[in-house]
Structure 1
Amino acid sequence: MALRVIEIVTPRSDKDEVRKSLEEHQPDAGYVFWATPLDDGEFLSFRVVLDVAETGNVLDELEELFAWTSKYRIVVYPAEATLPRLDKLAKEEEKAHAVFPEENKGGSGSISREELYDDVLDTSLLSKNYVMLVLFASLVGIIGLLRDNVAIIIGAMVLAPLLGPNVGLALATTLGDARLTREAFKTLAVGVGLCFALSVGAGLLLGVPEANHELAIRSVTAYSDIVLAMVSGAAGIITVTLGVPTSLVGVMVALSLLPPLIACGLFLGAGFLAQAGGAGLLFAVNIICLNLAGVGTFLAQGIRPLSWWDKERAKKATLRAALAWTALLAVLVGLMILRTR
């Protein structure tokens, strides 16, 4: 099982209060902890080793306990193993035989809200590295599509620079975080605009080859593409919340955002407007379905703000966003029906 270490740096004067709180929640969360004095003698370091599924609940309890000032600090980092092992099987067996089972507080096996936010924020902020990654992935995708080479196109899919800001947008919608929404949307807009401009330029200069299978299949949107985008988006969000980056590669390939966008630009640059519209429709369907599936999966994973007023604000923001994405998807389905007729 995945483990986390929560390190709490607190003034020595608060030792008894912190220890009492940790001891109260220890039977439910099944963690181990100890305290170590720091060099200056004024502060203590409490280290808590626990299952990743309990991290969010424990952090919520600590956040409610502390009046946050500069004298407190909590750091979360992964642990490879602990000996003796945390007896998770015994804990699950005890819960299964309980006469009055406790209500599930959201221990869904996901990483904590704070870890998730930091991970998503890293890929949602506009940076020089992000712009370079978009440039390189776009060039790889353009070459792959023009050469009708699946292996090269998969290389562009795996780079997947547009996936990060979309996940950030879905998380921001779930938490009602306006700042993260702005940053993720700005990053996504820059990435889409840069990739599209490069693709249009390549289409103007090089045109598009005839009988190109990879380009042709991305100029048509089927109803199965909607299902695929929804399922892949949900799988991607689960992978992110579990903190298992290696599993994300398959999602990047299944949920292809760059290839249809590049195909749209290539067709438009070469003057094939109908095919450009079809590829643009596929790209829009993938973006909308990813965000819809992302919000739904985050909610199902129990990712919500801590305070009640943030929860109320997030609930309203999530509802508005879900209605907007659903309306856009309905419009795109209508366009698909018109195109088939």
Structure 2
Amino acid sequence: MSARLVEIIVPDAQVASAKLIIAGHCSRFWQEPVPDGLEKFSCVVPSRSIEQLIAELDDNFQGAEGFSVLVLQVEAVLPEIPELEEITPSPSGKHKPPSRLEVFFTRDRISTNELYDDIEASLELRPNYLLTVILSALIAALGMRSGQTAVVIGAMIIAPLLGPTMAMAMAATLGDKALGRRSMITLSTGILAALLLTFLLGMAIDVDPLVPELRNRTIVHPADIALALACGAAGVLAFSQGASLALVGVMIAVALVPPIAAAGLFFGSGEAVLGYKALFLLATNLVCINVAGIVTFLVQGLPPRNWRITSGIFLIWLVILLLFVGLIGGRIAFGGSEPIFDNSGTFSIRATKLPE
């Protein structure tokens, strides 16, 4: 059973109200007095009920002296507690019980508070963050230059851009302006640091644009859009279930780190056109991750604070994605440009056309 141990501390005067709320969300809880006129409840709550329980406690006891809530992961429970199929509505009638569809979609998601706690540390601009971004880009750049796919995968496991990327989608879903601002600053700083490092690397080493690992980052295909959408959805799905950050990071990094490193190498080696194409792939992937991330967060039951803000941000991302899809479709329909070497070994750009 996916459950949490929730410890709730309330003033003695609020014990009766707290007991009614807790009893509506779980079938097993304990009560004990604590110093300073407070009472502590310990209860085992199904994960799908955490969101509503915390919201109801906050509505009733926010500002009460000594009130606090602590949520802990539960590995095992004996004797077993059957998961509640329906959540009893609170006596106040302020919160409606979730529908069966809501229960189905939210049964495995960790609470919003847990999501905030998981993502908070990764949004701080510290030397360690910049160092991991630079190392990840360096490893990816050298791996792509030599055509070693395994090395590129190793760069993804470092996953420095995981936090700000997930935070952008989460901020858009919740309508949290402060979180969105922090995530954009952190992500932009990381991307610029990676571009600068790989630019200097591109100036110092020979870069062959025809190496498949590099060349693939200069051409955006519909399959790349599908890959980025899948990465964003899978990353958010794993993140919202409390999965390993390394696993989530690989899903996100596969769409972000390689094009950043490729763009830096191309700019540093004097291939500005190819560098801009790699940046276009980066922008496309970032838009796709946010579109898929917002949709997945909503499907997982993450409650927006303001639907107007959430829908507005989502529509902006969607319009940008449709614009990119149109540009990609136009290139395919009317003939794209692909880098080649002619027989004399001279690098050139040749237009490719669809067969008639």
TM-score range, shorter chain: 0.7 to 0.9
CA distance in 1, matches of 2:135, 2:75: 34
Give the alignment of 1:106-117 within 5 angstroms. 106-107=102-103, 108=106, 109-117=108-116
CA distance in 2, matches of 1:118, 1:31: 27
Q: Which amino acid aligns with 1:258?
A: V
Q: Which amino acid aligns with 2:251?
A: V
71, 80, 91: which is aligned to 2:66?
A: 71
Residue 319 in structure 1 maps to residue 311 in structure 2: yes
Q: Report SS of the residue matched to 1:106.
A: helix
Report the counterpart of residue 190 of structure 1 in structure 2: 189
Contact persistence 1:160–1:257 (CA under 8 A): no
Q: Which amino acid aligns with 2:162?
A: L
**Deviation digits for residues 167-205 of structure 1, max 9, x if unmatched?**
101111111111111100000010010001111111111
CA distance in 1, matches of 2:161, 2:21: 42
CA distance in 2, matches of 1:320, 1:286: 20
**Deviation digits for residues 56-115 of structure 1, max 9, x if unmatched?**
121122122213344211111112111111123xx45999xxxxx972483312111111
Give the alignment of 1:189-228 within 5 angstroms. 189-209=188-208, 211-228=210-227
Query: Structure 1 residues 67, 276: closer, same or farther in 2, change over 3 A?
Result: closer
Q: Report SS of the residue matched to 2:255.
A: coil
**CA shift for structure 1 position 117:** 1.8
Q: Report SS of the residue matched to 1:257.
A: helix
Residue 103 in structure 1 maps to residue 99 in structure 2: yes
Residue 293 in structure 1 maps to residue 292 in structure 2: yes
Report the counterpart of residue 172 of structure 1 in structure 2: 171
**Deviation digits for residues 143-164 of structure 1, max 9, x if unmatched?**
2122221111101111121222
Contact persistence 2:115–2:240 (CA under 8 A): yes
Q: Which amino acid aligns with 1:4?
A: R
75, 78, 81: which is aligned to 1:83?
A: 78
**Deviation digits for residues 198-243 of structure 1, max 9, x if unmatched?**
1111111113036412111111110011111112211111111111
Unaligned runs of 5+ in 1: 96-100, 306-310
Contact persistence 2:5–2:71 (CA under 8 A): yes
CA RMSD of aligned residues (A): 2.3
Contact persistence 1:11–1:43 (CA under 8 A): yes
Which stretch shows the higher mean deviation, 124-133 or 235-244? Answer: 124-133
CA distance in 2, matches of 1:267, 1:126: 27
Unaligned runs of 5+ in 2: 89-96, 336-356
Q: Report SS of the residue matched to 2:41.
A: strand
Q: Which amino acid aligns with 1:67?
A: Q
Query: Structure 1 residues 77, 337: closer, same or farther in 2, change over 3 A?
Result: same
**CA shift for structure 1 position 321:** 1.4
TM score, norm. by length of structure 2: 0.83
**CA shift for structure 1 position 120:** 2.2
Report the counterpart of residue 248 of structure 2 in structure 1: 248
Residue 42 in structure 1 maps to residue 37 in structure 2: yes
**CA shift for structure 1 position 338:** 4.8
Which stretch shows the higher mean deviation, 56-65 or 71-80? Answer: 56-65
Contact persistence 1:15–1:44 (CA under 8 A): yes
CA distance in 2, matches of 1:203, 1:102: 55
Residue 328 in structure 1 maps to residue 350 in structure 2: no
Report the counterpart of residue 15 of structure 1 in structure 2: 15
Report the counterpart of residue 121 of structure 1 in structure 2: 120
Contact persistence 1:123–1:168 (CA under 8 A): no
CA distance in 2, matches of 1:31, 1:161: 41
Contact persistence 2:235–2:248 (CA under 8 A): yes
Report the counterpart of residue 56 of structure 1 in structure 2: 51
CA distance in 2, matches of 1:297, 1:252: 14
Report the counterpart of residue 143 of structure 2 in structure 1: 144
Query: Structure 1 residues 291, 199: closer, same or farther in 2, change over 3 A?
Result: same
Contact persistence 2:209–2:215 (CA under 8 A): no
Contact persistence 2:235–2:249 (CA under 8 A): no
Q: Report SS of the residue matched to 1:7.
A: strand
CA distance in 2, matches of 1:94, 1:262: 49
CA distance in 2, matches of 1:156, 1:67: 44
Q: Percent identity?
A: 32
Q: Which amino acid aligns with 1:33?
A: F
Query: Structure 1 residues 148, 112: closer, same or farther in 2, change over 3 A?
Result: same
Contact persistence 2:232–2:252 (CA under 8 A): no
Q: Which amino acid aligns with 1:262?
A: A
Report the counterpart of residue 28 of structure 2 in structure 1: 32
Q: Which amino acid aligns with 2:51?
A: G
Contact persistence 1:125–1:184 (CA under 8 A): no
CA distance in 1, matches of 2:266, 2:65: 56
Contact persistence 2:11–2:37 (CA under 8 A): yes
